[in-house]
Amino acid sequence: MQQTIFQRIITREIPAAIEYEDEEIIVIRDIAPSAPVHLLIIPKRVIPTINDIAEEDVQLVGKIHCIAANMARKFGIAEQGYRLVTNCNDYGGQTVFHLHTHLLGGEPLGRMNSSSVTHATTTPSRSITSTAVFDVAVFVLVAIGLAIGFNAMNPKAIAWIKPEFERQLATQNDINKYVQNTASPTTQTQQQAQQPQVQPTTDTARKTTTLAVNTATATTAQSTTAAQNATSTQPAAAAPAFTPEPGVVREISYDMFVRLLEGSKHYLIDARSAEKFAQGHINGAANYFGGEVQSRIPDLLSNVPRDRVVLIYCDGGECELSHHVADVLKQFGYGPIFIYTGGWAEWTSKRK
Ligand code: 5GP
* Residue 263 belongs to domain with CATH number: 3.40.250.10
Is residue 4 within 6 Å of ligand 1 at its C-beta? no
User: Which pLDDT belongs to residue 165?
Assistant: 77
Within-domain flag for 319: yes
Known catalytic residues? 100
User: Which pLDDT belongs to residue 31?
Assistant: 94
Neighbours of 102 (CB within 10 A): 22
Within-domain flag for 189: no
Q: Are residues 13 and 84 in the same domain?
A: yes
Within-domain flag for 191: no
Q: Are residues 13 and 99 in the same domain?
A: yes
Q: Are residues 53 and 148 in the same domain?
A: no
Tell me how far the alpha carbon of residue 121 lies from the centroid of ligand 1, in angstroms. 9
Q: Is 217 exposed, middle or buried (0-12, 13-18, 19+ CB in 10 A)?
A: exposed
Q: Is 244 exposed, middle or buried (0-12, 13-18, 19+ CB in 10 A)?
A: middle
Is residue 240 within 6 Å of ligand 1 at its C-beta? no
Atom number in ligand 1 closest to CA 29: 22
User: Which pLDDT belongs to residue 351?
Assistant: 82
**Residue 99 is part of a domain; what is its CATH number?**
3.30.428.10
Residue nearest to atom 18 of ligand 1 (CA): 31
Cβ–Cβ < 8 Å for 40, 87: no
Is residue 39 within 6 Å of ligand 1 at its C-beta? no
Q: Please, which residues bridge with residue 83 across strands? A: 104
Q: Are residues 80 and 142 in the same domain?
A: no
Is residue 32 within 6 Å of ligand 1 at its C-beta? yes
Which of 88, 105, 122 represents a domain boundary (last residue)? 105
Within-domain flag for 206: no
Q: Are residues 90 and 140 in the same domain?
A: no
Who contacts 164 (Cβ-Cβ below 8 Å, separation ≥6)? none
Which of 70, 89, 105 represents a domain boundary (last residue)? 105
User: Which pLDDT belongs to residue 213?
Assistant: 42
Is residue 96 within 6 Å of ligand 1 at its C-beta? yes
Within-domain flag for 332: yes
d(CA 184, CA 334): 25
Query: What is the span of the domain harbouring residue 147?
Result: 131-159
Within-domain flag for 233: no
Instruction: Kindly report whether the peptide bond that precedes residue 336 is cis, defined as omega within 30 degrees of 0.
Output: yes
User: Which pLDDT belongs to residue 157?
Assistant: 61
Tell me how far the alpha carbon of residue 98 lies from the centroid of ligand 1, in angstroms. 10
Residue nearest to atom 8 of ligand 1 (CA): 30
Q: Are residues 44 and 82 in the same domain?
A: yes
Is residue 15 within 6 Å of ligand 1 at its C-beta? no
Q: Are residues 144 and 99 in the same domain?
A: no
Within-domain flag for 46: yes
What is the number of alpha carbons within 13 Å of residue 214 lying toward its C-beta?
18
Within-domain flag for 222: no
Which stretches of the chain drop beneath a pLDDT of 70? 1, 113-129, 152-163, 181-238
Q: Are residues 246 and 145 in the same domain?
A: no
d(CA 219, CA 201): 18
CA 116, 117, 120, 124 torsion-angle sign: positive
Atom number in ligand 1 closest to CA 95: 3
**Count: domains in the chain:** 3
- Substitution site in 4, 96, 101, 122 for ligand 1 pocket (most atoms within 8 Å of beta carbon): 96
d(CA 228, CA 225): 5
Is residue 221 within 6 Å of ligand 1 at its C-beta? no
